[in-house]
């Protein structure tokens, strides 16, 4: 074993120590060191041990030994002290190293847990959009989680309450079930059901699920308040002790990361308690109100787009929705997804956006739970009506339909009543355009029912009109052209009547002051409407 330089210095010191002691004694007895050699030479033949000189020598030896012992003891004590100090410093360094290693493990576990959960929620949103809303192949096709997720969670045992730890365990278990369903790729229906369940459990209850396809930003913006609180505490645990500053304030504690506040209020048993404010990553208020055992039950919930513009603001009272709004991003006629007062967690007075089977059906005003005021009704995602409602009924506005149908005016019994209409078709009228008065064509043009395959006309009478056609006029240009057109329409109409069991004739008509007048009874003025399911076959 190689001996250190300090050891050899110590040995050398002990070897020369006796010489130093003798020199010190001589100086003590004889004074000047230059006189000592002369005194020794003069008295070398006279040095004798006798009864008179012995005590003096004995005392000298005792003094020497005593001095040497004191010096050795002092040196040894100093060495022991220095060794103890060094051992303490080493122990403290080891302890500090262990503490830093534990803190680093906590930070690492918190960071991994935070981003895995955040990625899981982001994947859940994307799966809902692809599988539920768009009905296409799942996207993403795979989900990834660390094999050490249980270990990572366990590092947070001093940062989170036991109920919060259990909550995170359930979240991971649910995500792993979703992952297994996605990996198997066998039961698409079961996957869709589980996606719906997880979304309802983890996303904010006041955001219509269909709106999550709108990209508001991070998945944190869609989460319910319980998830937001837990994720914020996990994120806070991922910072070093130097990065997190906790100061005492009137409300309790103010927790800062850098210059941004994270929480202001009281903390009891590692849970937010009482009146307080939880902030988002940009330092803007997220939850502001009353916390009870770590849960936010009364107050306001905020979210933002483009840093500081409010996306939604919702007020809770005793864990129930009280009022709030959610803005549309950008200028439009209806600037809110919802706005108003809640009853049983549903908007009862204000503005709503409603869906059925994930397809929008209505957006507009409601009063006491009924459509009232301005609104838009949709059919298969397309605008069907836009205008005014009263107690759930349409009263005035614009209605849109198939084949160019359009009406603008007053409604009665939710049907067009008085106003401008285009391409109206029903049991008696076909392609009428003009003015409607009290639900009936008034002025305009179109077709009116004439007769059916049994010869029944509009008045349930059979009638026929013959005209004399003079041979000389047959080749008149206008007449000949009309005959050509009639012949063409006649062949087309006859073919339809021949090919279908069920058909109806409509004839052009004009309305004036509510009175209808059929145009001339000729094939070019008729339109034959057939029933698709009544086409004749070779057997019948």
Mean pLDDT of 103-107: 79
Cβ atoms of residues 337 and 327 within 8 Å: yes
What pLDDT shows up at residue 473? 41
Count of other CB atoms within 10 angstroms of residue 285: 17
Same structural domain for residues 434 and 474? yes
Beta bridge partners, 436, equal 419, 441
> Which DSSP category does 132 fall into?
I
Count of domains forming the chain: 4
Q: How sure is the predictor about 470, in pLDDT bands with cuts at 50, 70 and 90?
A: very low
Query: Does the pLDDT value for residue 128 go beyond 80?
Result: yes
Query: Does the pLDDT value for residue 171 go beyond 90?
Result: yes
pLDDT tens-digit series, residues 379-402: 888 999 999 999 999 999 999 998
Pairing of strands 271-279, 503-512: unpaired
Mean pLDDT of 517-540: 78
Rg of the chain over CA atoms, in angstroms?
A: 49
Mean pLDDT of 111-139: 93
Q: Of all residues in the chain, what percent are helix, strand and coil, respectively (each to 5)?
A: 40, 35, 25
Q: How sure is the predictor about 528, in pLDDT bands with cuts at 50, 70 and 90?
A: confident
Do the domain assignments include residue 379?
A: yes
Which segments within 413-469 are labelled E, that is strand?
Answer: 415-424, 429-437, 440-452
Do the domain assignments include residue 82?
A: yes
Cβ atoms of residues 234 and 223 within 8 Å: no
Domain residues for the domain of 376 are 334-400
Same structural domain for residues 130 and 190? yes
Same structural domain for residues 221 and 110? yes
Do the domain assignments include residue 428?
A: yes
**Mean pLDDT lowest among 183-192, 310-319, 381-390:** 183-192
What pLDDT shows up at residue 394? 93
Q: How sure is the predictor about 50, in pLDDT bands with cuts at 50, 70 and 90?
A: low
Count of other CB atoms within 10 angstroms of residue 202: 21
Same structural domain for residues 295 and 425? no
What pLDDT shows up at residue 506? 85
Same structural domain for residues 244 and 297? yes
155-to-73, 115, 119, 439 alpha-carbon distances in Å: 50, 15, 20, 73
**SS3 assignment, position 537:** coil
Same structural domain for residues 127 and 208? yes
Same structural domain for residues 213 and 283? yes
Do the domain assignments include residue 410?
A: no
Q: Give the up-direction half-sphere exposure of residue 536: CA atoms within 13 A in the CB hemisphere.
A: 11
Beta bridge partners, 249, equal 252
Same structural domain for residues 231 and 366? no
What pLDDT shows up at residue 458? 58
Q: Which range, 75-79, 319-323, 458-462, is most confident?
A: 319-323
Do the domain assignments include residue 221?
A: yes
Do the domain assignments include residue 339?
A: yes
Same structural domain for residues 84 and 141? no
273-to-231, 257, 317 alpha-carbon distances in Å: 17, 20, 16
Domain boundary among 333, 355, 382: 333
pLDDT tens-digit series, residues 318-335: 999 999 999 986 666 778
Residue partners of 176: CB distance under 8 A and separation at least 6:
145
Do the domain assignments include residue 540?
A: no
Domain boundary among 333, 352, 382: 333
Q: Which range, 182-191, 358-367, 444-453, is most confident?
A: 358-367
What pLDDT shows up at residue 361? 92
Same structural domain for residues 84 and 115? no
pLDDT tens-digit series, residues 413-423: 899 999 999 99
**Mean pLDDT lowest among 77-91, 198-212, 484-498, 512-526:** 77-91
Query: Does the pLDDT value for residue 98 go beyond 90?
Result: no
Same structural domain for residues 90 and 146? no
Do the domain assignments include residue 47?
A: no
Same structural domain for residues 363 and 326? no
Query: Does the pLDDT value for residue 56 go beyond 70?
Result: no
The burial of 53, by beta-carbon neighbours within 10 Å (0-12 exposed, 13-18 middle, 19 or more buried), is given as exposed
């Amino acid at each position: 074993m190689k001996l250190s330089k300090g050891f050899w210095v110590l040995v050398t010191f002990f070897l020369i120590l006796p010489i130093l002691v003798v020199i010190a004694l001589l100086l003590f007895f004889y004074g000047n060191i230059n006189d000592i050699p002369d005194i020794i030479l003069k008295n070398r033949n006279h040095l004798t041990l006798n009864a008179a000189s012995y005590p003096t020598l004995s005392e000298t030896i005792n003094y020497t030994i005593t001095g040497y012992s004191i010096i050795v003891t002092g040196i040894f004590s100093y060495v022991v002290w220095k060794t103890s100090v060094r051992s303490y410093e080493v122990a403290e360094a080891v302890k500090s190293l262990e503490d830093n290693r534990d803190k680093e493990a906590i930070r690492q576990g918190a960071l991994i847990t935070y981003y895995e959960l955040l990625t899981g929620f982001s994947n859940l949103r994307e799966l809902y959009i692809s599988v539920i809303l768009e009905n296409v192949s799942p996207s993403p096709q795979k989900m990834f989680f660390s094999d050490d997720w249980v270990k990572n969670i366990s590092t947070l045992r001093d940062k989170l309450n036991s109920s919060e730890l259990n909550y995170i365990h359930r979240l991971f278990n649910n995500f792993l079930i979703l992952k297994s369903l996605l990996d198997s790729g066998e039961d698409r229906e079961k996957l869709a059901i589980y996606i719906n369940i997880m979304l309802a459990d983890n996303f904010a209850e006041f955001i219509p699920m269909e709106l999550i396809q709108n990209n508001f930003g991070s998945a944190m913006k869609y989460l319910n308040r319980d998830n937001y609180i837990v994720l914020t505490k996990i994120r806070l645990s991922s910072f070093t002790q130097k990065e997190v500053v906790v100061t005492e304030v009137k409300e309790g504690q103010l927790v800062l990361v850098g210059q941004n506040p994270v929480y202001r209020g009281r903390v009891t048993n590692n849970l937010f308690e009482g009146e307080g404010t939880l902030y988002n990553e940009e330092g803007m208020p997220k939850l502001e109100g009353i916390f009870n055992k770590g849960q936010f039950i009364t107050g306001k919930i905020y979210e933002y787009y483009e840093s500081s513009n409010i996306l939604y603001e919702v007020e809770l009272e005793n864990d129930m929705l009280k009022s709030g709004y959610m803005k549309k991003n950008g200028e439009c006629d209806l600037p809110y997804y919802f706005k108003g007062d809640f009853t049983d967690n549903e908007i009862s007075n204000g503005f709503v956006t409603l869906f059925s089977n994930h397809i929008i059906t209505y957006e507009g005003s409601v009063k006491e739970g009924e459509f009232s005021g301005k609104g838009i009704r949709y059919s298969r995602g397309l605008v069907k009506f836009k205008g005014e409602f009263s107690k759930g009924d349409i009263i005035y506005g614009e209605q849109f339909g198939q084949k160019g149908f359009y009406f603008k005016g007053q409604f009665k019994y939710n049907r067009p009543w008085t106003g401008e209409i285009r391409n109206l078709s029903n049991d008696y009228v076909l392609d009428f355009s003009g003015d409607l008065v009290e639900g009936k064509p008034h002025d305009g043009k179109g077709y009116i029912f004439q007769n059916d395959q049994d010869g029944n006309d509009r008045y349930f009478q059979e009638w026929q009109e013959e005209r004399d056609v003079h041979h000389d006029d047959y080749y008149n240009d206008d007449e000949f052209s009309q005959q050509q057109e009639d012949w063409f329409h006649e062949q087309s109409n006859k073919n339809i009547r021949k090919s279908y069991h069920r058909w109806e004739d409509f004839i052009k008509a004009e309305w004036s002051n509510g009175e209808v007048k059929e145009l001339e009874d000729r094939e070019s003025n008729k339109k034959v409407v057939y029933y698709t399911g009544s086409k004749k076959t070779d057997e019948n």
